[in-house]
Structure 1
């Protein structure tokens, strides 16, 4: 299995939310390559306030009601989602066809707009989600952009450019921690094997216990042995590692 497709339904009309949930669950998305997880969000204010802690992956799909009846509008929520992940899929639900121009001007880059109307057209969902699934498959088949890892019986794909660093997990043989701009993933593997697999020039493989993304480095502090990555992420290391990194930069 290549991964999970998570679908978040953010819609304040209970009946419409339930119908949308049922339609999405009936779509032929789950197979030998993907599993489907449908999440119907009911507490919108709570979801928005904890959005900064949510790990949003490239495969995630958000169905967002534009006219959300909460403290935050659907457009505001979508803007926050897009800021967290530029590659996830956002589909807007709306009763008004003229909302599209307003959203385009917000640089949200929505995949599509679904007009609610009086009933739901299953064929529209089928077409949209098939298109999304094909795009996901195309992404992960591009070996120049993604690396695969085994994780608890599944295979996950991580973009090379999103990696901050990879390190061996102390006390757990054959286990790695992959730290990215969005999350930390515990996966199977070893640094020695990865060195042979990785050919991406900006991923530095010359260290014993780490693989470092040179493009994500913000600064190196030799006096305290600290690597600071873009976004403020920090990693404490020995002085010899700092010196090696300085030589290759």
Structure 2
């Protein structure tokens, strides 16, 4: 988890950093303090992290992008991140809600530079974040659950490398790193349970775990997976995967 503090006033940013990191340490957060604060640099850094992160954002930044706009862009890459506005502009609180940035808190700068009064506000927000993180960590991992004859199959989605349709049969094969399972289910039925994982389901006869792809040769239509399997696709079919990656750039 990274912690971003975006404020264009250096003196205020340094003071906030001191207060916020002290509270993070006291509450036992496992975090890394990001060194960037300008909107473009923050977004570049967010794109390289998995989140959820914590963001303390001033609303009025003397930049092309203000704090609310920055928060809106952050949501595209870190939908579960915790956004906390720290600003003197309390009148803009409704705007932060209208922008649908889902802030975790709003801390007024009225008591800035008064550690005794300001620190409790920071701690209160961080305690909420810590509680929500605990809830997220307790959430069960998404699984694939199938009944096929006498077989009851329950696999964590993250362990599935790919699924494939067995041609000529109403059957599919589910492949993990070291095992394959033949189930009497249509692949389309299996795909209905693969929506919460990182799966590419646009192939008619395959569902690929995008996290398990090692290489893709678009010219040859060849996809290699982490378990060593090499899957072959026609040029027309592989174009669908290329189109997906292009949307992620």
Q: Give the TM-score range, shorter chain.
A: 0.5 to 0.7
Which of the numbers 29, 35, 41 marks the counterpart of 2:30? 35
- Are 1:218 and 2:218 an aligned pair? no
DSSP 3-state at the match of 2:30: strand
Residues 26, 202 of structure 1: alpha-carbon distance in 2 compared, 3 angstrom cutoff? closer
Number of corresponding residues: 182
SS of 2:69's equivalent? helix
Off by >4 Å, runs of 4+ in structure 1: 28-32, 199-205, 210-213, 225-229, 239-242
Q: For 1:139 and 1:20, locate their aligned partners in 2 and report how far apart those are by CA, in whole Å.
A: 27
Q: 2:129 aligns with which of 123, 128, 132?
A: 132
1:104 equivalenced with 2:97 (yes/no): yes
Query: TM-score of the superposition, structure 2-length normalised?
Result: 0.59
By relative contact order (CA 8 Å, sep 6+), the higher-ranking structure is 1
Aligned to 1:141: 138
**Structure 1 residues 202, 227: CA separation in 2 closer, same or farther (over 3 Å shift)?**
closer
CA gap 1:143/1:55 in 2 versus in 1, 3 angstroms: same
In structure 2, which of residues 47, 51, 59 is the aligned counterpart of residue 57 of structure 1?
Answer: 51
Q: Name structure 2 gaps, 5 residues minimum.
A: 145-152, 164-173, 180-190, 217-222, 225-229, 235-249
Task: Please identify the structure whose Cα radius of gyration is greater.
Answer: 2
Q: TM-score, normalised by structure 1?
A: 0.59
Please point out which of 1, 9, 13 is paired with 1:13: 9
Give the CA deviation at 1:218.
Answer: 3.4
Structure number having the greater strand percentage? 1
User: RMSD of the TM alignment (CA)?
Assistant: 3.9
The answer as to whether partners of 2:6 and 2:38 remain within 8 angstroms in 1 is: no
> Quick one: which of 62, 79, 84 aligns to 2:77?
84
Contact 1:6 1:39 in 2 (8 A): yes
Q: Secondary structure at the match of 1:114?
A: strand
Tell me which protein shows more helix as a share of its residues: 2
